Chain A
């Protein structure tokens, strides 16, 4: 007995090291699945207020580019309004709106890890919910996974856990969009049937199979494609439409029909 105690005392540093290492490994493994991290995220109040202070200083350096993006988007929206037949929305139509849109700005961006999360400045008070979609004016950027009263965090499209249903703009062949963690400008589209008539430069948009995004939001353009190991499906490299290193003004999309649709599956 004395020997055991003596052994423990002599190796106390090693035991301390091992136990702390086990703690951090278990944190890493259990939180690797998203939607789970309660404690380790920068949307809690102290850290987000720090990031907010930093943002107020640093956002001035990027104003010109962001203005240009917004002006371009305004031009597109006006084009759509003037070209649609009934461009005036009636008051009573608001009950039937499928997607609520909330504008948000990025507090903290990240793209240097293989599991990236981005924090934005809207939260529960702006009626944001978990699993809402996030888009920029150029295309899809992520899905909300964690909310606090004033802030929320979303899984970036540049996250190896991110999965999304995507299809071709010109046909209805669809596949699963994911990221392999190597190039921050390219994502991969897998499980596309071989008979899909792919050519380089084709536009990839969101498919209607997901309740998170409406059908037809831009994701990117085909860069290259090859047959996968089973030789039945194509694997495509997609150039992202959005420059993930330079995002600031985003929109959060909330599907109002999600409860009704989900109730059918129960």
Chain B
């Protein structure tokens, strides 16, 4: 029970800090880290998959209303929520299938690769849908990589602060 409440509080904090603070960083002109991916990446492992996908969609929609964008965050968040089990299987293999993976004791290398792949997919869909123009594909890819670096750093710091500490 307390876990559900703490997750809802975490979601609210992430939404508010993304909308009010992290959307306005504009590092080097226009780079804003999307720290709210943290919620999807480290959502509890034992979950109802349909519920998780639906949650991610609603979560993305709220971010969309905050950023004045049209369901692009919703689509990107939804996709990484759907793909998450496949990435977990890819990077944690047998340990995930036997349900013994714990986020607070995973290796640094596995963790970074896992994070990087879901961040890249998220950003690619986000910027792709936002630009919605195949002739500007180079702009999309440039934005994706620039932003992904900062998102990765920001989420890893959050990981150290929230999950490693809770251990």
Contact = CB atoms under 8 A, between A and B. Distances in A.
A50 to B, nearest CB: 7
A13 B64 contact: no
Given A13-B50, A24-B74, A40 B26 contact: no
A37 interface: yes
Nearest to A109: B24
A32 B139 CA distance: 19
B53 A20 contact: yes
B26 A111 contact: yes
A42 B69 contact: no
Nearest to A46: B65
B70 interface: yes
Given A13-B82, A28-B129, A112-B26, A42 B50 contact: no
B123 to A, nearest CB: 13
Contacts, number: 101
Contacts of A25: 71, 75, 129
Interface stretch (B28-36, B91-99, B111-119, B155-163): B28-36
Contact of B75 (A24, A51, A181): A24
B30 A111 contact: yes
A37 B82 contact: no
B54 to A, nearest CB: 7
A17 to B, nearest CB: 4
Interface in B24-50: 24, 26, 29-32, 49-50
- For chain A, the bracket of interface size reads 35 or more
A115 B130 CA distance: 8
Contacts of A51: 20
Q: Which of A13, A39, A44, A112 is the most central at the interface, judged by chain B CB atoms within 10 Å of its CB?
A: A112
B66 interface: yes
A109 B26 CA distance: 11
Interface string A124-135: 000000000000
Nearest to A14: B82
A13 B52 CA distance: 10
B67 interface: yes
B166 to A, nearest CB: 29
A24 B65 contact: no
Given A20-B57, A21-B78, A181 B131 contact: yes
A41 interface: yes
Contacts of B29: 112, 184, 245
A102 B24 CA distance: 26
Interface in A29-49: 29, 31-32, 37, 39-42, 44, 47
Interface of B: 16, 19-20, 23-24, 26, 29-32, 49-50, 53-54, 57, 60, 64-72, 74-75, 78-79, 82, 129-132, 136, 139
The 7 A-B pairs at the shortest CB distance, nearest first, are namely A112-B30, A27-B71, A24-B71, A24-B75, A31-B70, A17-B82, A24-B74
